[in-house]
Amino acid sequence: MEPKKMCLGLFTGSVDKLTAAGVILSGAAALDMKVDIYVLLQGARAFKKEVGDNADALAMAENPDLKDEFMESLRNLNVKTWVEFFREAKEITDVKVHICGLAGKIWGGENLDDFIDLADDICGIGAYLSSSEEADINLFI
């Protein structure tokens, strides 16, 4: 049987929502799903090499005054960083991370080398729309 497909539109660049996406991605990997992640707008900034796993460079989407508490709680619970969740999922199942070309340019990323090693390619918004039509599960974070 063909594995289920998940399409994730990752608009966010906030550490709390990136972590949530990582947890969802981990679950999809455990179910051996094929996952296409399309990194849009603020999400593209999080994938830049100078940002990536640097939580200090990321904001919180809601309640920004809770960021320190959130990060400390993650450390105390020994929860992986969002980058570690993504990296682990890519090792377990077929996960592709696509950076939206416009989003990348907004944050000064025009080449794949401008982004952390999780990024597989740079594409246009049409690729995201096509993938979301074909997916069994389509999420937007």
Domain hosting residue 122, numbered range = 5-138
Q: C-alpha 72: how far from its chain's center?
A: 21
> Over 80: is that where the pLDDT of 137 sits?
yes
Per-residue confidence (pLDDT) for residue 118, from 0 to 100: 98
Q: Identify residue 20 by its one-letter amino acid code.
A: A
CATH number at residue 23: 3.40.1260.10
How many residues are recorded in the chain?
A: 141
Contacts of 87 (CB under 8 A, 6+ apart): 118
Number of separate domains in the chain: 1
Per-residue confidence (pLDDT) for residue 23, from 0 to 100: 98
Predicted model pTM: 0.94
